[in-house]
Structure 1
Amino acid sequence: MTQCKEESVRASWASNHGVGPNMLSTDADTGGFAVECIKGNMLLRETAREYLPQIIKLLRSIHSAKAERWMGKFEPVNEVKWHLPYAAKCMPPEEVRRVKTALRNAEVSIKNPPLVPCHNKFHCRNIMLEDSMPGSHDGARLLAIDFENCDLGDPMWDVASLAADLEHKTQFALLKVHGATEEEKRRLRIYLPLVKAHVLILCVFILCVLSLYWAVLFHVERNTSSLTVYVVDFDATQPPYTDTQPLIGPMVTQTTKSMLGSPMPHLGYITKQPSDFANDPMKVRQAVYDFHVWAAIIVNANATALLRAAVSEGNPSYDPLGACQVIYVQARDQETYASYILPQLNMLQTEITSKFGQMWTRQTLQDTSIPLSNLQAAPQALSPAIGFSTFNLRPFAPAAATPAVTIGLIYLIIIAFFSFSFFLPIYMKFASTPGHPSVTFPQLVLIRWLGANSAYFLMSLAYSLISLAFQIPFSNGSAPATAVANNPNAYGKASFVVYWMVNFLGMSALGLACENMAMLIGFPWTSMWLIFWVITNVSTSFYSLDLAPKFYYWGYAWPLQNIVEASRRILFDLHSRLGLNFGILFAWVAINTILFPLCCWVMRWKTIRQKKKVAQH
């Protein structure tokens, strides 16, 4: 039982370090354990030569893993001595003498070897080869099994154990792959400073670029007041209700003003006069639709008058929700509304109805002129007395539209980026095709530019068709700005074509920038550019810039921000800034088109210089 527990600990160690199969479960009482089934075969000594680099990699992973306190010292000489008496019964006398001689030589020659975690039974039968593509060895994954002897030991014992299990020719290949010649050591001394420099560059790059993503929401609590909300009190300001002493309107405005002085995060409430909107509540809705503010609270002109009449007349049809309105446009940014605006507005409504309810109940019950039967006929006029009707002018629906205006757009960048490496070998065929005259450099530049944009044109169509395939509406008519409308489209049946053109222009803006940078900086630095390009576009497009530090205002000029805004306009019939969006995207395409020939020339110059260096050597 104890031995089983020890093997369980060793198997768990191997699983944690990725050198053995994944541990599925263990029994603390019995030491029993279960590991994941490896879909593959045992490594054959006949084919081991083909996997020597992977074998050495696995062996070094074991030797470089963290040593644990439970690891003892594995002594190969003592291990052989322990087994020899039992094996000697079946061995010829000459072989026994030979083994004893080898043991004496090992005891004399090997003193204080380095001790690292070792498998100590590392041979082909304890190496599993996971299934891979036929004929492919570079991507093969090897795992070791049977770690029952895993302890601290001499790493060369594992190498010797494996070598003894291999064919004679493979033994020499193993030692060559594992060992380092003087020439290899010399190159290693040259490469180490370069590796350190690359690691340092990557660390600084990760710190700087990924910080852009984390920092975009760093001051959300401080900037919540940037999410502005109009508070417009029409209560008793319009005839025929001007003779009524207003109660609800002042309560709402006083509460919102008091919140502005709160140290807690709060929305940016702005009190407006009805005259600012020509005494028309519909113009308040228009202001919300036009993105002047994120939401609006309207106290209706007859709010107090209807409440008083309900109590004095015992009106059973009185509806508390007719007192106030909350107006917003969810499709503008559903995440910002769900996370920051609506929770704050709900808290405000609760506070207002609570405070007003206490004041109104006390005042009503003290008025002896109001018959009790009236209150019994209209109890809602006493509690809750007032409420808020919510008007979401443009709901965000269906849910399948989420990728079209958020995370799905990342693939627009990635597809555009990888089209460079995918199509470049094809374009280079024009430059040097045996048996045919090569095109001139200006012709090649033109072919590449036209080819890239033609690819973007078709790929953006494929990308756009995904939204159509998942039944996102594209053929509904538009709706009045001040009306609540579900799934209206800005351009009716032409909405899909406009949506496609936004994606095409956006892919050109994103993709040509990637093409230029790939030609300028080359690989592997292009992958770093992709990370930067994705992070800067995502951080300024998928989160409201009103909540971000002002440093991020450059995001308004970034391509993805304008693709998102234009897509929302088309899909949900929002306030149109399509001219601005198209203008910014066209500017990106134009700038990158101007730079495109220069970047092509730089790439050609670097290629020619590299060929000259190779020829000189």
Structure 2
Amino acid sequence: MARLLWKDPFWDGKRKPYVIALVGAASMLILLFLANISYLYGALYRSGTRVNALNILAVDYDHGVIGESLTAAYSNLQGEGFPTLQFRSPLEYATIGDVRNAVCKGDYWAAIVVQEDASTRLANALSGGTPAMEYNASNTITYVYNGARYATIQDGFITANMQALISATARAYNSINGTKAASVVNTADQNAVLALLNPIMASSINITPTGQGTRALYNTVTIILPIIQQFFFVMALNGISIQFGIYGRLHNTHAGLIRMVLSVGYTFIASLTVIGYIWAFRENWQASGNQFALSWMVVWLYMHVNFLVLDTATAFIPMPHMPFFVLTWAIINITSTTFPFELNPGFYRWGYALPAHSVFTILIQIWSEGCNNQLKSSLPVLFGWEIVGGALAVLGSYKRNKVAQREFEEEKRVNSSNGKPILERSLGGSQD
């Protein structure tokens, strides 16, 4: 217990180095977390002021007072906190199917259309009779969106703003045409009065309905856990390989082949568990077996890329510094998927080169049955990491084996000089 006292002779010559080492390690860890969390928070900082970077297709098939009301409503809402409406001619998008395809392709985050003859149907309904009885306020303005493309963004910035826009359109209609409509409405017809009081309502087309609560985790926890999982496996593989004397006693080719087979097999099974828990908790999300298989293959590639990256890192980075690399690698990858780049500061667009962003983009395409197709950029990124990571992992395996061989030869030399026999144990040590 006396050695707990700072003035005890035990601490002679250790006080200053101990304090310096402890303060240095603590400072480096604080700076590490500060830098990484600042990077993550910076991606979301003032994202509400960049909502206007989300482009919405707008097509007016009506060319009447309802279309005019939509334009007026958007003029009042337009700003940095509201998506930008790109008005296009019906000649360019002749049908609602063309509008849906534009959203599906990813050209726009959503679309809003004024239905053909919407103003005429409303005017006829105000006169009463059968037109009033058949009038459907939700058959005036429709918005289209893809619920599988960044579900939280769709909920928070797309559908909420589209509903706000349609509500504002109804108010604009009352301001523009309310007096005239009130003067011609058939007050004796209840349906005509209802049409006057509630002329415009929202209707929507969701290309890929995803109502399950777990969808909020697809671009966050589901992205980062495979990185952590591969790091644990690499550490276990390295420890077991050292314990059983794999390195230094096998040829470089044999040691490398063992790691390759183990990495492919492990990531194959581990990726199945990832897709397994996504499917197990999908609730009423209608996903097919083909989508399951394709998702599995994509996550398998993503996991193997991370294995190669972390395997290379453990070969060249000293073990005390590995937490710095692993945390940074995890944070920059999850930052590239948390929010779309349209809502991030421009600097963060370098995240297009990260495997996490590419794999999530491909998963969106799979889950929305081909929508948001960015394979021409995403697949080259993933395979680029696979090729470069594979080459570096081979060099790392070669380095490990060479270092272990030198240590083994040195051990043999020392034991020979001491006149001791060399007993190679399968558990990687010497046995007296």
Q: TM-score, normalised by structure 2?
A: 0.85
SS in 2 for 1:292: coil
**Aligned partner of 1:503: which letter?**
V
Which residue does 1:287 correspond to in 2? Answer: 102
Q: Which residue of the partner structure matches residue 235 of structure 1? A: 62
Report the secondary structure of 1:332's partner residue.
coil
Offset, 1:578: 4.5
Counterpart of 1:383 in structure 2 is 197
CA RMSD for the aligned pairs? Answer: 2.8
Tell me the distance in 2 between the aligned counterparts of 1:377 and 1:443: 82
Amino acid of the structure 1 residue aligned with 2:206: N
Relative to 1, partners in 2 of residues 1:224 and 1:405: Cα closer, same or farther, differing over 3 Å? closer
Which one-letter code corresponds to 1:339 in the other structure? G
Q: Residue 300 of structure 1 aligns with which residue? A: 115
Q: Deviations 1:560-611 (Å, cap 9, x if unpaired)?
A: 2222222233334251434643332222111101111222344456668899
Match runs of 1:187-586 below 5 Å: 187-236=14-63, 246-260=64-78, 262=79, 265-277=81-93, 279-314=94-129, 315-367=132-184, 371-374=186-189, 376-428=190-242, 431=245, 438-468=249-279, 470=280, 472=282, 487-489=285-287, 492-575=288-371, 576-578=373-375, 580-586=377-383
Q: TM-score, normalised by structure 1?
A: 0.61
Aligned partners of 1:357 and 1:383 also within 8 Å: no
Q: Look up the SS of the partner of 2:44 in the other structure.
A: coil
Distance, in Å, in 2 between the alignment partners of 1:545 and 1:563 is 15
Q: How many residues align?
A: 408
User: Which structure shows the higher helix fraction?
Assistant: 2
Q: Secondary structure at the match of 1:327?
A: strand
The one of the two structures with greater contact order (alpha-carbon pairs below 8 A, sep at least 6) is 2
Q: Distance in 2 between matches of 1:432 and 1:224?
A: 55
CA separation of 1:429 and 1:524: change in aligned 2, threshold 3 A? closer
- Corresponding residue of 2:420: none
Change (3 A) 1:382 1:592: same
Q: Percent identity?
A: 21
Residues 163, 202 of structure 2: 8 Å contact kept: no
Q: Deviations over 1:5-54 (max 9, x none)?
A: xxxxxxxxxxxxxxxxxxxxxxxxxxxxxxxxxxxxxxxxxxxxxxxxxx
1:225-262 deviations in whole A, cap 9, x for unaligned? Answer: 111111111114xxxxxxxxx211122123224433x4
Give the whole-Å Cα distance in 2 for the aligned partners of 1:211 and 1:455. Answer: 34
Q: Which runs of 5+ in 1 are unaligned?
A: 1-173, 237-245, 474-485
Q: Does 1:597 align with 2:412?
A: no
1:50 equivalent in structure 2: none
CA distance in 2, matches of 1:372, 1:189: 92
Q: Is the 8 Å Cα contact of residues 328 and 391 (structure 1) preserved in structure 2? A: yes
Mapped to 2, the partners of 1:224 and 1:404 lie a distance apart of 22
Contact 1:512 1:589 in 2 (8 A): yes
Change (3 A) 1:555 1:179: closer
Displacement of 1:541:
0.9
Give how far 1:422 is off. Answer: 0.7
Give the match's secondary structure for 1:274: coil
Partners of 1:581 and 1:439 in 2: CA distance: 38
Structure 2, unaligned runs of 5 or more: 415-432
Work out the CA distance in 2 between the residues paired with 1:365 and 1:464: 57
Distance 1:406 1:538 in 2: 6
- Secondary structure in structure 2 of the residue aligned to 1:573: coil
- Cα deviation, 1:125-174, whole Å, max 9, x if unaligned, reads xxxxxxxxxxxxxxxxxxxxxxxxxxxxxxxxxxxxxxxxxxxxxxxxx3
Q: CA deviation at 1:429?
A: 5.7
CA contact (8 A) 2:337 2:356 kept: yes
Larger Rg: 1
The alpha-carbon distance between structure 1 residues 589 and 430, as it changes in their structure 2 partners (threshold 3 A), is farther
Q: Summarize deviations over 1:315-351 as a string: whole Å, max 9, x none.
A: 2221111111111111211101222222222222222
What letter is aligned with 1:462?
A: T
Alpha-carbon offset, residue 201 of structure 1: 2.6
Contact 2:112 2:143 in 1 (8 A): yes
Q: Quick one: which amino acid aligns to residue 172 of structure 2?
A: K
Distance 1:179 1:311 in 2: 91
- Tell me the CA shift for residue 412 of structure 1: 1.0
CA deviation profile, 1:368-401 (whole Å, cap 9, x unmatched) = xx65435x44112211222221222211133345
SS at match of 2:188: helix
Name the residue aligned to 1:588.
385
Task: Return closer, same or farther for 1:180/1:488 CA change in 2, 3 Å cut-off.
Answer: same
Decide whether the 8 Å contact of 1:431 with 1:438 is kept in 2.
Answer: yes
Check conservation: 1:540, 1:556, Cα contact below 8 A: yes
Partner of 2:423: none
